[in-house]
Chain A
Amino acid sequence: MATRGFKGDDDLQREIRQHLELDAEERRSEGLSPDEARRAAAMAFGNVAAVREDARTVWFPLWLQQAGQDLRYAFRVARRTPAFTLGAILIFAIGISASTTIFGALNAVVLAPMPFAESDRLVRLAQSNQERGVDAFSVSLPLYRDWQVRSQSFASMAAERTGAVTVLGLGEPRHIDATWLTHDMYPLLGLSPALGRAFQKTDDEKGGGQVVMLSHGLWRSAFGADPQVLDRVLTIDGRAHTIIGVAPPDRLNTTDHVLLPAVPFTEDRRGYADLNVYARLKPGVSIAQASSEMAAIAQQLGRDYPDHHRGWGVTVTPLAESVVGPGAPRMLYLLLTAVGVLLLVACANLSSLLLVRASARTREIAVRAAVGGGRGRILRQLLTESLLLAGVGGALGVALSFSGMRLWRTTLATDLPRAGEIGVDLWALTFAFLVSAVTGVLAGIAPARQMARLDVTRGLRDGGRSVAAGSHWSRNALVVGQLALSVVLLSAAGLTMRTLSHLQSVDLGFTSTRIVTAHIAPRERPEAFFIDLLQRVRALPDVAMAGATSHAPMTRGNLSLHVFPVGAARLAPTESVQADWRIVTDGYFGAMETPVLAGRDFSVRDDEDAPKVIIVNQTLARMVWGDRDPVGRQLDLGGGGGDPATVVGLVRDTRHHDPAVGPSPTYYVPAAGGVWGSMTLVIRTGADAATLVPRLRTVVAELDPTLPVYDVNSMDALVLRRLAPQRLIAGVLTGFGAIALVLAVLGIYGVMAFSTRQRARETAIRLALGATRWDVIRPLVREGGALVVAGAALGLGAAVPLTHLMRSLLVDVSPGDPLTMGAAVAVLSAAAMLACYLPARRASRTNPLRALRGD
């Protein structure tokens, strides 16, 4: 078969052999003896090796051939020491997969542009009030219209809000997330529906709104992606809606939901701010320009409607920033930094191990140098060896990072916006490749340079026992570096662990254990419904207490309003407090075990016809009235001089939003006086959710068989979910710290064991001359101890400023906390000293005679 291309060295060799045999045969037939014929043929042919090399060079440039040789040689070296090779590959794989996984999340969540056309021009507009510390307050429908009419900076503007609805027509009554959006939202984002049409202007008028769109996910899960879904009718919150379209596949990490036109379902009042406003900047308009225009508009509006808008400004935030928020990038950059430190530890570790191994190969390298391997060639050979390890480790690391990325999507970052986009993509692969190359070179450069500088005659003479000059120093430096970086990682891990343990034990103001929560959204007469329901729930077996609230603690969403004092107060009558507020039923505080400190709890008699009453928390009471008893005093809720509300009770402060966020000024209004939408039942029970919920469903069905009971949780789970970022950070950093610790200890152990072996002869002589075992151990341990002290000191010096970078992630512990730092150093030093002691002890137990004879 005639084929194109280089047929390989073996083919050429065979060809030359045949050539020589044929030639020899012909010479034999001319009368030469077989030996003479073979010699003559060989002579006529010349240098076979040179011919082969020249022939190969036709196809492959010299450097490529040499790289191939280096690689083959590297494989052989790797196979010779399988334990070392596997260990090194594993270290590379762990480092590269960890960094690739973290980079993947950072890239998807923070760095990648938002998945919309020209997304860099998309912004979010929100109300802000510096004085009250509010920087992203939602917007009322009239205000949104004012912004639309008065601003010039934007090509278009649209608004939306999110919530949930009860949907009939999908089998069981279902509670489904909903997004209400104005008809301009789709053009703004450059989206078009996957099926049917999007909302148009007529849908967005009063009296319109009998239409609904399905999210792509809901279309698939509830309708099996049926293209005939259009024009079907769903009953949403008791009203018929025709399906007019299906949204394109989801681009952000959202759940299945329905889309409804915003305007018909939004209160047209200035005091009712629940829209999120988005806009597209006109080409060439900067965020700063838009901000200053909006600031001017906000001032006008403050003059036009002082009751509502005075003191309020507007923030213009890039869309990506507003979707992702400040927390996720901070966390991901911290983790990326940490994994970078871990990679450095791994590089230093491998470098020191390679150095030790290279020293053992002194004779081999010296031979190569002696037969004419140039320094460059030896350098390249040794770098090829470490790059091979890094390359295989990198490939394994990429394979591992597939699981890592899945872990992000499914477990670690389910609450993170855009988490669905996390995956092994071209960027992640490029990153992994670069990290492999850089770590391969970093780990290999010190040993390679060491060996390239080798003194050939000494290397040959000393039989591989002597070490290239200066290698002692670099090994020690690498060990100190590993120890120091490990101190940094351990300190960071310690600080986040302390933050987490503080948050887990922080006084929330309520008892989270043994509480089951569940959402219910009754349609008609909700006040009476909840009074009725709670009576039945409290009668259930294993239920100790039960109540309900508009917003359970540790869940998203907030209500807040500015409240003015009425009558004598610490606060002037014109001043106000931005207070959170919640609707709660009687028994809520009892179920939560939040004590009523003064006055009384609400009762079912605090209804619409009764005088307006509220309960305040300690923070609000203190801000408005100082130390005076608030019970009986009055507040004007929202200003505007309506009926003031009378304080009937004072409750303990609670942490509503997050265990990390202190109590905010809060007041509570009675559910009997008015409930909107859904409420969360809070049930203190000895039973678990699995037992309780079927009973609860039965009780709810007795009242209204079409009502879904949804979002069932335990309060502990809600608290835990809120702590997810802190748990993630603490967990990952602790893992990194542990890996770094193991590596650093292995590193110092390897170096000390080597150093001890090097001195086996000296040790043996001293033992033979009558030195005690401790006499032998002491200098070795002292040498190791010096490294540990240097590493710990350097690590402390670096950790104190470095941990300052993570200040914003710490609660109740300061960066550079002496206790944490001390613990990190103590753990590391103890482990490292043990690693120094073990080889020394072994050396002290050698039989001097055997060691001396061994050479």
Chain B
Amino acid sequence: MRHLLSVADLSRDDIERICDRAASFSEVAAREIKKVPALRGRTVLNLFYEASTRTRSSFELAAKRLSADVVNFAASGSSVEKGESLKDTVLTLSAHRPDAIVIRTPWAGAAELVSTWTPAAIVNAGDGKHEHPTQALLDVYTLRSRLGSLEGRSIWIVGDVAHSRVARSNVMAFQTMGAHVTVCGPPTLLPRDIETLGCEVRYTLDDLRDADVVYALRMQHERMDDAFVPTLREYAAVYQVDARRLAPRQVLMHPGPVNRGVELSGEVVDSPQSVILDQVQAGVVVRMAVLYEVLAGARAGHLAPEPQLA
């Protein structure tokens, strides 16, 4: 795999392979010395145009555990604030010959565009409201660990789907893995024609009991300015996943950071059904697998060899 730009580019086999490799890396994470030489001498550049704590640190940890060198470049406080264009920034940083660029921007398609400007492998860490493929992969990995397989499972994605790159990537990834996906949220926060992705659309949580997995999205406070919902109070009343609505057999997921008391009640966040912290842990090993996938000998189009784990 040359780049990771979109879940739409991934087959079920691709996703299985990345998850399998992530599983082999998870054994490394349990060791006292959490480092393998798999990407020694490679350079990974983190290029972040948006604030990000967990994704960026997770990529940084992943690269370091594979012994790659890591450079972090944040747009704030940089030449970007002096008006440098994305292309000029990428060309400049590309002159340092990074092997991979992990990029997050607020613009759909930016990761793919950047891949046309640099010989480095590009990993999309979020492009606007378009996609967040590594989040989808770590979510599949987490569910595989918990449920064995996603085949035939019912997964509900609840909340602000319109502004969520996580929702778009996950609908595709979960379906690719054989799950049945329902998106649910206020009609003002579900994009028109979203059902053309193959998911079902619901406006209430009335049938939430049908779900095997409940995936709550972050309700972003800034959406309130555009009055997509009348109040957060009404949103919580209709869409909050709480102990009353969540059954003991169901798995609860959230991409973080959680607004306790808005999309999730505090009690379900800390409940045994919640795998939110497993998702965070999965983030590192899945990103290790992704970096390994795009960097280790996959240039010629064939699969990467098995990594050295010692």
Note whether A and B form a binding pair. no
